[in-house]
Amino acid sequence: MMARSEPQAVAGAPARRPARRGKRMMTRVLVCAVAVLGLVACGRGTKEDIVSKARDISKRAELERVLGQPDEITKLGPVETWRYKASNGEVIFLIVGDDVTLQAAGGRDKAK
């Protein structure tokens, strides 16, 4: 009966340790997932942040340039409602044609 020999390491290559590598990989994945969730939870910031960024904006293109695409757009004829979600509620802009005519900020609905 022949004795089994251990696999020889290639010169200059690190020794393989699959269990340790798996734990490191899992830790990295977990850290990345937590970081991504943290960034997503932050979103666009608060209602106050959104309103302050859009304070002197009067045109649709400028609003989109400053705040990005809205989370929701509702259209009724020439009137559009752009809704931006914030960490503490939402901000709504009423757009007629190319003009931003109204903005409103609302809180989160609380279950009673």
* Domain ranges across the chain: 45-106
What confidence tens digit (pLDDT) does each residue in 36-89 have? 555 444 556 999 999 999 999 999 999 999 999 999 999 999 999 999 999 999
pTM greater than 0.85 (yes/no): no
Dihedral sign from CA coordinates of 40, 44, 46, 47:
negative
State yes or no: pLDDT of 100 exceeds 90: yes
| The CATH classification of domain 45-106, taken from the options 3.30.1450.10, 3.40.140.10, 3.40.50.150, 1.10.10.10 | 3.30.1450.10
Mean pLDDT of the chain: 79
pLDDT score of 112: 46
